[in-house]
Homo-oligomer: A and B are copies of this chain.
């Protein structure tokens, strides 16, 4: 039988593939290859009707999402990836700047749709901004962890918007530090904020994201995506998680602590992070590919960014996982 067909680019989280490549059973791996919180939110009971019936748009998810994001309008989508695929279809041929390195699907989607894409380093942006129709920023950035200030982003948006341009801010990792989000500002035309559900809530398998933007743009997105894009059970658990304020607070604290502990641990073993945020640490170094294989042979999966010779470390979930990582780090130093 041929292999299963997959859209998109290579990403973290591909344990089945790693298991085959390294001859280590899936259950034996410590997967630190993603930036997903390793503490999935407690799941509510899911009524059979959520599986059996077609999902309905007015079932409570929309209201819960609006409250969580502090906005008047939002479009839930089947993962922010679904919006990334479709956004480029809502503009005529454009010059699109992507602050790089960042999550590679942005440049890929705009390129595939026929736009002109330029990958821009932070220090080049000022010189390039007025030549762009669209600017894509991941904030905090993945994998570098760089955080852009709200005022900075809003000033870039203003310069783009006065020429009919867009600022797309992918806030997939911002829920740990929501005070930096532009969601509440995104009623203004040409400001499009993408939010991810799975990373912060630790439920990436649910496939949910939200787009916050002016309503006509959300309408156009919904028209591209069609009806019933989100599974019924996902709608039930997301509405529940969006309202679980105490658990959200706990998740933020837990992630910040684990991320700081991870940074310290890496620094103590010669891998001082180049950057990071509340959900991962990032290390850049000449031997990144070699380091990735070293850990993989010990059943610890990291995400290699070969083009930028760097590694992303997701958060260990508990002391045992920290100890396993520490042991491998020590072996490497001792080698």
Interface residues of A (CB under 8 A from B): 1-9, 11-17, 31, 34, 36, 38, 40, 43, 48-59, 61-63, 66, 72-73, 75, 78-79, 81-82, 84-85, 105, 109, 112, 198, 202-207, 215, 218-219, 222-234, 237
Contact = CB atoms under 8 A, between A and B. Distances in A.
A5 B54 contact: no
A224 B58 contact: no
A300 to B, nearest CB: 16
B215 A231 contact: no
A205 B61 CA distance: 14
B81 A228 contact: yes
Contacts of A109: 226
Contact of A112 (B34, B55, B215, B223): B223
**In the complex, the 5 A-B pairs of residues with the closest C-beta atoms, listed nearest first:** A205-B232, A8-B227, A4-B62, A7-B222, A4-B57
Given A1-B63, A11-B227, A49-B205, 5 more contacts: A16-B58, A82-B226, A85-B225, A231-B231, A233-B233
A5 to B, nearest CB: 5
A112 B237 CA distance: 33
Contact of A226 (B63, B81, B232): B81
B72 A53 contact: no
Contacts of A56: 13-17
Contacts of A230: 207
A11 to B, nearest CB: 7
Contacts of A206: 51, 231-233
B81 A203 contact: no
A237 to B, nearest CB: 7
Contacts of A84: 226
A47 to B, nearest CB: 10
Given A13-B53, A204-B54, A205-B55, A223 B7 contact: yes
